[in-house]
Amino acid sequence: MASVTLENVSRMYGAITAVDNVNLKIKSGEFVTLLGPSGCGKTTTLRMVAGLEKNTGGRIAIGDNVVSDSEKGYFVPSERRRLGMVFQSYAIWPHMTVFDNVAYPLRIRRRPDKEIQDRVMNALRLVEMEQYAERPSPALSGGQQQRVAIARALVFEPEVLLLDEPLSNLDARLRTQMGDDFRALQQRLKITALYVTHDQAEAMALSDRVVVMHGGRILQVGAPEEIYRRPENRQVAAFFGTPNLLNATVKDCRPNGGQYYKLSVEGQGWSGDCHAATEMPKGADVTVMVRPENLHVRDAGQVNGDLSWSGEVSQAIFRGSHRSIMVKTPAQTLHVEASSLSNVDIGRPVTVAAPVEAAWAVRN
């Protein structure tokens, strides 16, 4: 297994910049996900690693080998990069059986028949498809096609496995299951994997590190929890779920003892403490992010958290696993995810509270 290095990689289509100066180092055996809305350049980045697109700037290396260097005009075509790839459409060749599909990378490399037989069956066993080997591939369901695509990508032990939204064509239940299976397989085989998705839940569940992209640029790279709880800016914060983003002014800033700073902030009709990554001067405008699931609804006037807002319930929606409650406060309407057992009446005056660890401030 090899690492992947992207140095100042760019891709222009005429005057349009699809990927803008991306720097990324993927360690051997690491699972990295490129996450972002459609058109953010994540698929283009993946395709440049695959050699299906030429980067117009920067260079790409797989392991110790440079595979593309735009300045030197050096470009290794896809077929010599020793990669495995799972396409969004799976790209299962309809004129071959399951076995032939998986055997393809080996046959292309002129391996002996015996070896092909063994390795294909091993790969199929890995994805629990060995009993379907002789099936014609159009007779497979979506989930089965996906497994075959993974087996085909793994069969010749590629340097790196590339996956382009491989789960997006599956239904919700299957998507979760296939994702978990695939993560287990990746950890067992210690494959370097570069994964593209627009699904945040998928990205967090699968990856060692998540790369959030927007407009062709990398916004933040980090472990899923890091990115979810401590985003570097408002854009990253807004990308995961529907957080409450409140405007506030810094009153005081002091080190927390750990790696963060503790801020005292004041907003419209509320004040309290929260955390931030950097030191901020007094009077600076910040955005405070509080996730709906970390907010609690209490009876009016009851305060024992670090942050609190008073207001009245304007809407309550039962969602099965939880209850979405909208609380109208002088600052703005707050979205709270409460237990589905909690019963709230619309119009009731309440206090909304959050612990200091749940509030994260970023500079505007």
Partner 1 sequence: MTIIHNRPLDDIAETAPTIAGNAFTRAFSGGSLWRLIGMLVLILILGFLTIYPLAMLLYGSLHSTPPGMAGEFNLNGYRSIMTTQNLIVLANTIGISLAKTIPSLTIAVFLAWIVARTDTPFRGTLEVLITLPFFIPPILTAMAWGMLANPQVGVINMVWRWLTGGTDPLVNIYSYGGVIWHMCQYSIPFLFLFMVDAFRAMDPSLEESSRMCGASRWTTFRKITLLLMLPVLTSSFMLSFIKGIETFESALFFGLPAGIKVITTDIYESINHRATPDYQYATSLSFAIMGLMFLLVIWQWWMLRGKSFQTVTGKGFRPSVMELGPWRWVTFAFCVLFFFVTVVLPIGQLMLGSFFRFFGFYTYDMLTLEHYRSVFANSEFWRAVRNTMMLGLLGATATMALGAIVAYISVRTRWRGRNLIDSMAWLPWMMPGMVLGVGFLWAFAMLPGPIPIYGTIWALLLAYIALGTPVSVRVMTGAYHQLSYDLEECSRVHGASWFQTMWRIMVALAWPAFAVGWVLTFFGIMRELSASILLYSVGSETLAVVLMKLWANGNAEQVSVIGLMMMLLVIVFRWVQLSFIKARISKL
Query: Other CB atoms closer than 10 Å to residue 13's CB: what's the count?
Result: 11
**Residue 157 and residue 160: Cα distance in Å, rounded?**
8
Bridge partners, residue 266, by sequence: 249, 271
Q: Which is nearer to partner 1, 108 or 346 (CB)?
A: 108
Q: Which is nearer to partner 1, 156 or 309 (CB)?
A: 156
Count of residues that interact with partner 1, criterion CB under 8 A: 43
- Minimal distance, residue 315 CB to partner 1, in Å: 33
Q: Which is nearer to partner 1, 52 or 238 (CB)?
A: 52
Write each residue from 132 to 151 as x if it is in contact with partner 1 (CB under 8 A), else as -, in one continuous string: ----x-x-------------
Three-class SS of residue 239?
A: helix
**Residue 91 and residue 257: Cα distance in Å, rounded?**
53
Backbone angles phi, psi at 66, to 5 degrees: -75, 130
Write each residue from 100 to 129 as x if it is in contact with partner 1 (CB under 8 A), else as -, in one continuous string: ----xx--xxx-------------------
Find out whether 339 and 208 touch, Cβ atoms under 8 Å: no
Q: Which of 3, 12, 57, 66 binds partner 1 (CB under 8 A)?
A: 66
Q: Which is nearer to partner 1, 51 or 311 (CB)?
A: 51
Find out whether 292 and 336 touch, Cβ atoms under 8 Å: yes
- Minimal distance, residue 199 CB to partner 1, in Å: 20
Asked if residue 56 binds partner 1 (CB under 8 A), the reply is no
- Minimal distance, residue 82 CB to partner 1, in Å: 7
**Residue 152 and residue 140: Cα distance in Å, rounded?**
15
AA letter at 91? A
Query: Other CB atoms closer than 10 Å to residue 208's CB: what's the count?
Result: 17
Q: Which is nearer to partner 1, 81 or 323 (CB)?
A: 81
Q: Which of 73, 112, 281, 283 binds partner 1 (CB under 8 A)?
A: 73
Q: Which of 21, 57, 69, 284 binds partner 1 (CB under 8 A)?
A: 69
Footprint on residues 74-103 left by partner 1 (CB under 8 A):
74-85, 87-91, 93-95
Q: Which is nearer to partner 1, 99 or 240 (CB)?
A: 99
**Residue 19 and residue 223: Cα distance in Å, rounded?**
22
Write each residue from 31 to 50 as x if it is in contact with partner 1 (CB under 8 A), else as -, in one continuous string: -------------------x
**Residue 161 and residue 302: Cα distance in Å, rounded?**
53
Three-class SS of residue 42?
A: helix
Cα–Cα nearest to 206, from 4, 35, 24, 25: 35
- Minimal distance, residue 132 CB to partner 1, in Å: 17
- Minimal distance, residue 36 CB to partner 1, in Å: 21
| Residue 250 to residues 229, 234, 279, 308, Cα–Cα distance (Å) | 20, 16, 11, 16
- Minimal distance, residue 329 CB to partner 1, in Å: 44
Write each residue from 156 to 175 as x if it is in contact with partner 1 (CB under 8 A), else as -, in one continuous string: x-----x-------------
- Environment class of residue 126 by beta-carbon count within 10 Å: exposed (0-12), middle (13-18) or buried (19+)? middle
| Residue ranges binding partner 1 (CB under 8 A) | 50-52, 61-62, 64-67, 69, 72-85, 87-91, 93-95, 104-105, 108-110, 136, 138, 152-153, 156, 162
